[in-house]
């Protein structure tokens, strides 16, 4: 294939540590469009979610399975809200 004068060169990839770090996160998904109702990202600490959930369970002491389900969903919504704030912060 002929090379024309002034033709753009192929990218050699990031060269700085900052660029390499940014490039390493290219495939990281934010999880905001996850189909699974309670999906966790590989970078998230599931035990932190469990601690948060147990704290809410101790505080509100649900008595029925429906109450447990509702409280679990509410805590997961709180977890996702924090994830959204983290994504927004990274975009700013």
Q: Where does the pLDDT of residue 14 fall: very low under 50, low under 70, confident under 90, or very high at 90 and above?
A: confident
Contact 30, 87 (CB under 8 A): yes
The whole-number pLDDT of residue 67 equals 98
- Between residues 36 and 75, which one has the greater pLDDT? 75
pLDDT at 75 over 90: yes
Contact 40, 46 (CB under 8 A): yes
Contact 60, 71 (CB under 8 A): yes
Contact 8, 60 (CB under 8 A): no
* 3-class SS of residue 51: helix
The whole-number pLDDT of residue 49 equals 93
Mean pLDDT of the chain, nearest integer = 83
Residues constituting the chain: 92
Give the residue from 78, 15, 16, 85 showing the smallest Cα distance to 52: 78
């Amino acid at each position: 294939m002929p090379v024309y004068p002034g033709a753009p060169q192929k990218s050699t990839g990031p060269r700085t540590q900052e660029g390499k770090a940014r490039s390493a996160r290219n495939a990281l998904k934010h999880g905001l469009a996850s189909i699974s109702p309670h999906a966790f990202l590989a970078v998230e600490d599931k035990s932190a979610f469990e601690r948060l959930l147990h704290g809410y369970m101790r505080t509100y002491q649900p008595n029925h399975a429906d109450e447990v389900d509702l409280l679990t969903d509410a805590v997961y919504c709180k977890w996702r809200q924090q994830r959204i704030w983290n994504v927004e912060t990274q975009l700013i």
